[in-house]
Amino acid sequence: MNILVVFFFVFNVIATFILGAKFVKQGDSQVFKVFGKALLLNALAFAIWSFGVVQPESLLISVTIGSIIFLISLVFMFDASVLKVQMVISRRLLIMLGIFIVLGIFAIGHADPSYAFISSEGFLFFNLGPLVQMLYVFVFALASLPAFEIVASKFKNPYATIFRYGFIAQFCSGVMLMTTKDAQVIYATGWVIILVYLMLLITFLFNKKAWSDIN
């Protein structure tokens, strides 16, 4: 067991949960609440994957359940990006489309013969096939990037910029972890995620000015 890998997963779970809870509780903004719920689901997915890392005999079921919850979190992320759609029926149709898409991705991924594994260095690899990787990256981007922009627009600068580029950095890091098997890249990406989360926690958890005069 790689202690640094375990530390990364535990830190990621705690940081994502704290930020998610902060956004859920913050004010009356529906965008913040939906975005916060997406982060909480993301934290839950990482917690389940963490269990698979420390209990390798439960790895495959942990990866499967965690992936389902991660895909659900993307539906919430997508919901945050379409909250401004004026007609309720249109928004509902978009959410139904998002649910249909993530169900399709899960079905395709579940049919893929590749299996997750833990490498000799202690890294968790989902070992997705090229098609499934492409689908995950596309859906991850289409659901997350617009949501980041909408949430960022609620803040005044410099907090909007910190939020926007902080979460874009986390998105890019997530894509790298999803697609690479190079140990040095994984270590570097892990530290980027940790440092960016520390910046986001300092900015939005301990700085009340960030939440004053929000749009």
Buried b (16+ CB within 10 A) or exposed e, 12-38: bbebbbbbbbbbbebeebebbbbbbbb
Spatial CB neighbours of 20, under 8 Å, sequence gap ≥ 6: 36, 37, 38, 39, 40, 42, 43
Reported as a single tens digit per residue, the pLDDT across 58-84 is 888 888 888 889 888 988 888 887 776
**Residue 165: pLDDT above 90?**
yes
211 touches 26 (CB < 8 A)? yes
| pTM (global) more than 0.85 | yes
User: To 10 degrees, the CA torsion angle through 167, 193, 49, 4?
Assistant: -170
**What residue has token string 């049919």?**
111
Q: How many other CB atoms sit within 10 Å of the CB of residue 202?
A: 12
Reported as a single tens digit per residue, the pLDDT across 100-155 is 777 777 777 665 546 777 887 778 877 777 788 888 888 889 889 989 998 998 88
Mean pLDDT of the chain: 83
Tokens of 206: 């301990």
CA 124 to chain CA centroid, nearest Å = 16
Collapsing DSSP states into helix, strand and coil, what is residue 18? helix
